[in-house]
Copies of this chain bind each other. A is one copy, B any other.
Amino acid sequence: MNVSVFRRAHFNAAHRLHVPGWSEEQNRTFFGLCNLPNYHGHNYEVEVMVKGVVDPVSGYVMDMKVLKDLMDEEFIEPWDHRNLNLDTEEFKNLNPTAENIAVVIWNKLRKRIDMRFNLCIRLYETPRNYVEYDGQ
């Protein structure tokens, strides 16, 4: 019996989309308003899925409190109320698109969660734009 369990959290951050190797004009044309120099921001909502066998005694796949603490430690506390481009190591040299943010979160959690579990990240940049990454 494999069940997926999901935990939702949020962080508020500033970011800007920009490729250093491109000209200003190329950046502005490609990323539009998301490239404006002084940053904008979002209320990011993150849903982490962990899929695995239900423990027959406890009835848990994984303790959601443990998962919540991992999420807080790995990206909620370090990124909340920060500027992703300026204040984080992860996006100093990586464009903080929703796609890249989801992949970075997946990589961080993958190291902390037992390999017998599948892992998938959904990241809402806005209620109308979101992405999903499961490591494949």
Contact = CB atoms under 8 A, between A and B. Distances in A.
Interface of A: 1-10, 12-15, 17, 19, 21, 30, 32-34, 36, 38-43, 49, 54, 57-61, 63-65, 80-83, 86-87, 94-100, 102-103, 126-133, 136
Task: Specify which of A19, A63, A132 lies most central, judged by the most chain B CB atoms within 10 Å of its CB.
Answer: A132
A8 B127 contact: yes
A116 B41 CA distance: 31
28 contacts: A1-B103, A3-B133, A4-B132, A5-B129, A5-B130, A6-B129, A6-B130, A7-B128, A10-B126, A13-B40, A15-B41, A33-B80, A36-B83, A38-B87, A39-B41, A39-B83, A40-B41, A41-B42, A43-B127, A49-B132, A54-B97, A54-B103, A58-B95, A59-B96, A59-B99, A59-B100, A60-B99, A61-B131
How many chain copies does the complex carry? 6
Q: Main SS of the interface on chain A?
A: mixed
Contacts of A61: 99, 131
Given A1-B133, A3-B131, A129-B7, A19 B97 contact: no
A79 to B, nearest CB: 9
